[in-house]
Chain A
Amino acid sequence: MSTLTTRVRASWSSYPLVRHLVTAAIALVVVIVVLTAASDFQATKLTEMAYIAIAAGGLTLLTGLNGQISLGHGALMAFGAYTTALLYDERDAGLPLVLVVLIAVAVTVAVGVLIGIAAARLHGPYLAGATLTLAIAVPGLGNQFKDTLGGDQGLRLFVPEIPQWATDTAYYLTGSDPSRSKYVAFLAWVTLIIVFILLANLASSRVGRRWAAVRDDEVAAEIAGIDLTRARVSAFVVSAAAAGAAGAMFALAQRTVSPLGFSLNLSLTLLAIVVLGGLGSLTGAILLSGVLVFLPQFVQDLGAGANIDATRASQMATLVFGLTMVLVILLAPRGLAGGLRTLRAKLTSATSSRGGSHAGPSGGSSGGSADSDPDSPSSTETAAPRGNSSDPTITKKGTS
Chain B
Amino acid sequence: MLQFTNTALAGLVLGMIFAAFALALVLIWRSTRILNFAQAPMAVLTTYIALVMIEDGQSYWLAFVVALLCGLVLGAVVERVVIRPVEGKPDINAVILTLGLFIVFKSAAEVIFGTKLRTYPPSFGVRGLSVGDTTIGITTSDFFTIGAVLATMAVLVALFRFTDLGLKMRAAANNQEVAKLLGVKVGAMLTLGWALAAVVGSLSGLLIASGGLVQPSYMDSIVVFGFIAAVIGGLESPVGAVVGGLLLGFSLSFVSGYIGAQLVALVALGILMLVLTFRPGGLFAATQGRRV
Contact = CB atoms under 8 A, between A and B. Distances in A.
Interface of A: 67, 69, 71, 118, 121-126, 128-130, 132-134, 136-138, 140-141, 143-144, 263-265, 268-269, 271-272, 275, 311-312, 315-316, 318-319, 321-323, 325-326, 329-330, 333, 384-389, 391-397, 399
B85 interface: yes
Most buried by B among A124, A271, A391: A124
Contact of B217 (A71, A125, A264, A384): A264
Contacts of A396: 289, 291
Contact of A387 (B91, B111, B266): B91
Interface residues of B, number: 54
A264 B96 contact: no
A140 B85 contact: no
A150 to B, nearest CB: 13
Interface stretch (B65-73, B97-105, B120-128, B237-245): B97-105
A384 B90 contact: yes
Contact of A386 (B35, B92, B290): B92
Q: What 6 pairs across the A-B complex have the smallest Cβ distances? A: A387-B92, A322-B103, A137-B265, A144-B262, A322-B104, A325-B100
Given A137-B266, A141-B262, A395-B290, A268 B35 contact: no
Interface stretch (B52-60, B151-159, B206-214, B270-278): B270-278
Given A69-B96, A323-B104, A326-B101, A311 B115 contact: yes
A225 to B, nearest CB: 22
B223 interface: yes
Given A121-B276, A129-B272, A144-B262, A67 B92 contact: yes
Interface in B93-117: 93-97, 99-104, 106-108, 110-111, 115
A74 B104 CA distance: 19
A330 B290 CA distance: 29
**A-side interface mostly:** helix
Contacts of B268: 133, 137
B77 interface: no
Contacts of B260: 144
A394 B29 CA distance: 12
A268 B103 contact: yes
Nearest to A311: B115
